[in-house]
Amino acid sequence: MHELRELYQEVIIEHGSNPRHFYKLECPSCTGHGYNPLCGDQITLDLKLENDIITHMGFQGQGCAISIASASLMCESLTGKSIIDAQNAFELFHSVLTADAPADDRLGKLTVLTGVREFPARVKCATLAWHTLQNALE
């Protein structure tokens, strides 16, 4: 279990320093902005939608490794998904991080971020990208 935890941290550090989907989209369907004043994390998220499918996601911003890694992992896991799937993933992710719901297989690679819930001050870092997604979809 200890080794698993270290592995998860490696994934966070790797995504934090080499984020995927870290670019601006040319003609986004919508854009969201997110700011976490507790840590200073800032994210701008572009979405390209076709019907109800999120076909492209790109983000820019600056922040701690957790906020950047979370945005990177979110874009990887939601690209190609429907808006409803994205909303469901948000609710699941949010409940595991904030409401002590048990870790859930449906989280897939997002599971690496669930260790953050032991550090309440960092939960907002991990959920920032997801709140930015909500902002973009509104």
Binding residues for Zn ion, rule: CB under 5 A, are 39, 41, 64, 67, 125
Neighbouring residues of 9: CB distance < 8 A, sequence distance ≥ 6:
115
Pairing of strands 30-36, 41-50: antiparallel
Give the nearer residue to Zn ion in terms of CB position, either 111 or 127.
127
What is the distance between the alpha carbons of residues 5 and 66, in angstroms, rounded to a whole number? 15
Strand order in the sheet with 53-62: 30-36, 41-50, 53-62
Terminal CA-CA length for the chain: 39
Q: Decide: 66 and 113 in contact? Cβ < 8 Å.
A: yes
Question: Least separation, in Å, of the C-beta of 121 and Zn ion?
Answer: 9
In angstroms, give the least distance from the CB of 56 to Zn ion: 25
Q: In this complex, which beta carbon is closest to Zn ion, that of residue 25 or of residue 123?
A: 123
Q: How far is the CB of 126 from Zn ion (least distance, A)?
A: 8
Closest CB to Zn ion among residues 40, 80: 40
At 55, is the secondary structure helix, strand, or coil?
strand
Return the number of the residue (28 or 63) whose C-beta is nearest Zn ion: 63
- Report the nearest approach of Zn ion to the CB of residue 132 (Å): 13
